[in-house]
Structure 1
């Protein structure tokens, strides 16, 4: 997968994406991530990419032409039209389901907004979708772009050591992850669940599945309705949700 990021702060993005798992994956060739300085496509010697808004109002707006020129340059480099995403608080909220959908693309381009946003005309002409990482506003689109890039990159082959690293994690299958433990077996008088050192793999699998349902029902009951549960599992989840509601009346 190739991910292109259009930004006013490519150094900020590179600093994050050159470290840890993502940095190693890039160096190994499992990922191709390119950060583009939008000011390189400015129309004047001052490298301005923003101007005042028509109709008045506070703040400046990012101009359409530099963004269009940068995106068109990326299209020429890749010989394709990358799926173009604008990171915006007006977009649909990023979820694991959306990430699995995006992971099927070979080329993705991310636009980091700034100031009061972006000229609507370039969004209408080029952008395929707008995505938000939450119902709040940041000073720029770089942090959302980094969140999306990191969470998307780890789904690509060769980035993590094994697909199981993400397939058993929270949200991947609509449930939160089960509790996990490491050595020592006894810590400050607390023992880990006996089933985990029983050596019985099927019992461990069943325990983990049950605990995922329990964790989700307790911490994110809103996820239960859409989770793929059999009748027995759904009864367990609904029982926990009901008990929590009874213990925490409003």
Structure 2
């Protein structure tokens, strides 16, 4: 079983650097996928209210026999539930679906700047954290201005910002802000939904190490210090995505991947998505 290194978050919590994502996995398929991931050695599972599969995750966790203290479970607050009271109620609903008394990380899924409720919403997350029902709180898809305002108005630095990040969209300015303020960078869509796997540089690096292009890209993320949450429902690929600790990219190979940045978004723009 692969041993995944931890990233220490800014509140002292330890989060596995490589986890398992379940975005776009139907609830009735989620239990088997998460069970396969846990059997392979994953201990971090990332879901969200919007994914509609929190119950499937909860079933897999309950059936796995893995002690709860060995797991790191993340879920996220959906856009319909911004605002203090709605956020608290939504968190309660997520816990109920997961069948848990706490999660390890709770995130605001999108900032929705036009609605201007993310600061108020974050204060609700602070209360949830203070009550011990999550070990850490953070955000997802927040840009630098959103983060700066959140920190200025609440005084609480998010532990994590989960953002779209892959060789085609490297978010250097945002990652620099994270580093300056002690925010862990977590990459969703780390493989750009497969869009970067045929890039010549990626293929060449993979061949040099005898690995797949996906493994080469995941290794690039890890060496940058990113937390990554690749998704698959295929047991062989689930295991393959975890097998990225037996090789290392050279500085020249890291530079080659850095040259692939072209502002390629596979998801919405956080500044305009509402």
Shorter-chain TM-score: what band? under 0.3
Structure whose alpha-carbon radius of gyration is higher: 1
Q: TM-score, normalised by structure 1?
A: 0.23
Q: TM-score, normalised by structure 2?
A: 0.22
